[in-house]
Amino acid sequence: MISDLNKLDIKDISDVDYCIIGSGPAGITLALELERAGKNILLMEAGDVQWTKESTDCYKGVNSGDQYFDLAFTRQRFFGGTSNHWTGWCRNLDESDFSSGKISGVNWPISKKDLDPYLQKSCEILEVDSNFANESLSTEFGVEAQQFNFSPPVRFGQKYKNRIEKSNSIHLILNANLTDLIYDNTRVYEAMFHSYTGNNFISKAKTFVLATGGIENSRLLLWFNKKNQIKLIDDRSPLGKYWMEHPHFYIGKAFLDRRWENAYLGLDAATRRSLGILNAGIRIEGLGDEGATALIKDIMCVAPDLGKKIGNLFEKNLVCAAEIRGAWEQVPNIDSAIQISENQFDSFGIPRPLLNWKKTSFDIETISKTLQQINAWVLFENMGRFKFNNWLLTEGPFPDSIETGGHHHLGGTRMGTNISDGVVDINLKVFNKENFYILGSSVFPTGGHANPTLTILQLAMRLSSHLLQR
Ligand SMILES: Cc1cc2nc3c(=O)[nH]c(=O)nc-3n(C[C@H](O)[C@H](O)[C@H](O)COP(=O)(O)OP(=O)(O)OC[C@H]3O[C@@H](n4cnc5c(N)ncnc54)[C@H](O)[C@@H]3O)c2cc1C
């Protein structure tokens, strides 16, 4: 069933098993899993079935740290969430992403094995192949071709609207903005929602799940903590902290053997460990004839013989010219954080988010050493030449760029083993609350370098299994 809080003053609904707040890939996947078990679910969505100005306005915020996207563009606030905008790149996290060895404090309290049982089903929802095995290209240099699969991309709102409309167990309420939670030291009892037209709704449920995305989860919790007498999230927990992205930057140019055009290359876990770096991938983006000609001209100016040689190989279609793009894992940093504004508020009086994204010199080291290692392999095999962008050679600063990240909002309510190193436990339950859970990439303690949505779906299914076993 679907209702619209803008139009109806819906009476309080009690006796609901689950109240899921947010209808992006996380919230919808969880709702569908719980529906199969015959549970009653309220799925609360702040936006409409399509984009609206009034909802998007609530997503405005301030970037107070490193250069980042407009916060109202990097996420979508309507039914289906940011899947209305995503590109569909899919890959699961590597085993090593859960425990990155050498770098202290960088690990998940669960392992890849805990998520594997949910891989196949998550891939079916995203309509992608579930084989993500990398191809080893050199054991000596530890270079591998990384496997990404591509969702059409699935738009969750479009895909599941009819099904939810006909469902007897899922009640989706649109234009319902979470504005407060009623709780004590152990439980959450009620969630309060407001529409844009002044209607209110109170949800009483046995269990509440917050799935409002990788910035909003922190923002809302920070606000509830500030406005209410009792802390919803314990002060010792790193709420809003360790916020991460996957930095995306152009890092160089290359002439390479044709077969690597558009490949995605990276290093195996053992090589990364020995170099003391985190996970990364470099994409060889073919520049086409025009780009190649310009690059050959550049080389001719400084090394005419080499330029001629490359020109010949290019004419024979043996090499490609490429721009090299890196996308990689950041080291979790307590100072990279979401905070809330003191003087800017949305139309419901909730402080706007301040995103203080911070990259460190370690983040440059990860991508620089990855490219150096792949370069060493290319030179050894005589398969081409890389030209590194200057900021990599000088180890910073990061250049100005239109695209600085992947729109992957990671951390802020990280999973931990205890109240002082996490906001949620291994089952995504908020420490010290019996019936309150957080779902989405905000729970990632580390980011790996895979795009996050597939992992979010695996976490949603694992959460469903946990809730049904309770
Ligand atoms: C341009 C772009 C490209 C991307 N490409 C990829 C890609 O190729 N691969 C990949 O894996 N990921 C990609 N992503 C990221 C991907 O979209 C997210 O990982 C995914 O959508 C997160 O799902 P979610 O359900 O956790 O959050 P969201 O999809 O953000 O959903 C959150 C939901 O909560 C609702 N909500 C927010 N506040 C409230 C409130 N107060 N009350 C009630 N409801 C509320 C929102 O309206 C929304 O529906 C991309 C993102 C962008 C912007």
| Distance from residue 400's CA to the centre of ligand 1 (Å) | 25
Confidence bin at 459 (pLDDT 50/70/90): very high
Confirm or reject: Cβ of 440 under 6 Å from ligand 1.
Answer: yes
Q: How far apart are the first and last CA of the chain?
A: 26
Distance (Å, whole) CA 178 – CA 400: 36
- Which ligand 1 atom is the nearest neighbour of the CA of 26? 25
Compute CA 286 distance to the chain's CA centroid, rounded to the nearest angstrom. 26
pLDDT of residue 100: 66
Reported as type and span, the H/E element at residue 159 is helix 156-166
Confirm or reject: Cβ of 28 under 6 Å from ligand 1.
Answer: no
**Per-residue pLDDT reduced to its tens digit, 125-136:** 999 999 999 999
**Per-residue pLDDT reduced to its tens digit, 268-325:** 999 999 999 999 999 999 988 888 888 888 888 888 888 888 888 888 877 889 999 9
Question: Mean pLDDT lowest for which of 66-80, 91-105, 205-219?
Answer: 91-105
AA letter at 251: I
In the chain, CATH 3.50.50.60 covers: 2-128+153-244+409-469
The three-state (H, E, C) secondary structure of 264-276, written as one string:
EEEECHHHHHHHC
Confidence bin at 102 (pLDDT 50/70/90): low
| Distance from residue 350's CA to the centre of ligand 1 (Å) | 20
pLDDT of residue 305: 85
AA letter at 19: C
pLDDT of residue 159: 98
Please name the residue that has the structure tokens 């440059």.
Answer: 364
**pLDDT score of 394 more than 90:** no
Among 67, 348, 310, 359, CA closest to 199: 348
| Distance from residue 210's CA to the centre of ligand 1 (Å) | 13
User: Superfamily assignment of 2-128+153-244+409-469 in CATH?
Assistant: FAD/NAD(P)-binding domain (3.50.50.60)
Task: Compute the half-sphere exposure of residue 204: CA atoms within 13 Å on the CB side of its CA.
Answer: 5
Long-range contacts of 59-63 (CB under 8 A, 24+ apart): 59/216, 60/346, 60/352, 61/215, 61/219, 61/341, 61/352, 61/353, 61/354, 61/355, 62/341, 62/344, 62/352, 62/353, 62/354, 62/355, 63/355, 63/357
3-state secondary structure of 203: strand
| Distance from residue 82's CA to the centre of ligand 1 (Å) | 3
Distance (Å, whole) CA 347 – CA 196: 9
How large is the average pLDDT for residues 85-113?
Answer: 88
Confirm or reject: Cβ of 252 under 6 Å from ligand 1.
Answer: no
3-state secondary structure of 456: helix
3-state secondary structure of 251: strand
Please name the residue that has the structure tokens 């107070």.
Answer: 64
